[in-house]
Amino acid sequence: APDTGLLRFITCGSVDDGKSTLLGRLLYDAGMVPDDQLVALARDSRKLHAESPDALDFSLLTDGLDAERQQGITIDVAYRYFHTPRRSFIVADCPGHEQYTRNMATGASTAQLAVVLVDARKGLLPQTRRHSYICALMGIRQVILAVNKMDLVDAREDIYAAITHEYRELADQLGLTSVHCLPVIAPGGDNVGKASSRLPWYQGPTLLELLESADTTVAQAEDFRMPVQWVNRPDASFRGYAGTVCGGRLAVGSEIVVQPAMRRARVERIVTADGDLSEAVAGQAVTLTLDREIDASRGDVIADAARPAPVADQFAAHVLWMGDESLLPNRAYWLKIGSRTVNARITSIKHKVDVNTQAELAARRLDLNEVGYCNIDLDHAIPFESYADSRTLGGFILIDRTTHATVGCGMLDFALRRASNVH
Ligand code: GDP
pLDDT given for residue 202 in this prediction = 98
Say yes or no to pLDDT of 224 above 50: yes
Ligand 1 atom closest to residue 184's alpha carbon, by position in its atom list: 23
pLDDT given for residue 74 in this prediction = 45
| 178 Cβ contact list (under 8 Å, min separation 6) | 141, 142, 143, 215
Type of residue numbered 403: T
Ligand 1: residue whose CA is nearest its atom 9: 18
C-alpha 139 to ligand 1 mean position (Å):
29
C-alpha 18 to ligand 1 mean position (Å):
4
- The answer to whether residues 196 and 185 touch, using CB atoms and an 8 Å cutoff, is yes
Q: How far is the C-alpha of 350 from the C-alpha of 343, rounded, in Å?
A: 20
SS3 210: helix
HSE, side-chain direction, 13 A CA sphere, residue 47? 7
pLDDT band at 1 (very low <50, low <70, confident <90, very high): very low
Distances (CA, A) of 421 to 260, 310, 311, 401, 414: 9, 10, 8, 29, 18
C-alpha 129 to ligand 1 mean position (Å):
20
Ligand 1: residue whose CA is nearest its atom 10: 16
pLDDT band at 191 (very low <50, low <70, confident <90, very high): very high
- The answer to whether residues 260 and 382 touch, using CB atoms and an 8 Å cutoff, is yes
Q: Which pairs from 193-196 meet CB under 8 Å and 24+ separation?
A: 193/25, 193/26, 193/28, 193/29, 193/30, 194/29
pLDDT given for residue 76 in this prediction = 61
C-alpha 116 to ligand 1 mean position (Å):
14
pTM confidence score: 0.87
C-alpha 323 to ligand 1 mean position (Å):
32
pLDDT given for residue 98 in this prediction = 61
Q: What is the mean pLDDT of residues 50-73?
A: 66
| Helices first, then strands: H and E counts in the chain | 8, 23
Output the ligand 1 site: residues, CB below 6 A: 13, 15-21, 59, 148-149, 151-152, 185-187
Q: What is the mean pLDDT of residues 247-261?
A: 96
- The answer to whether residues 385 and 282 touch, using CB atoms and an 8 Å cutoff, is no
Ligand 1: residue whose CA is nearest its atom 18: 18
C-alpha 19 to ligand 1 mean position (Å):
7
Q: Note the ipTM here.
A: 0.99
Model confidence pLDDT, tens digit, residues 71-104? 444 446 778 889 998 999 999 887 666 667 777 8
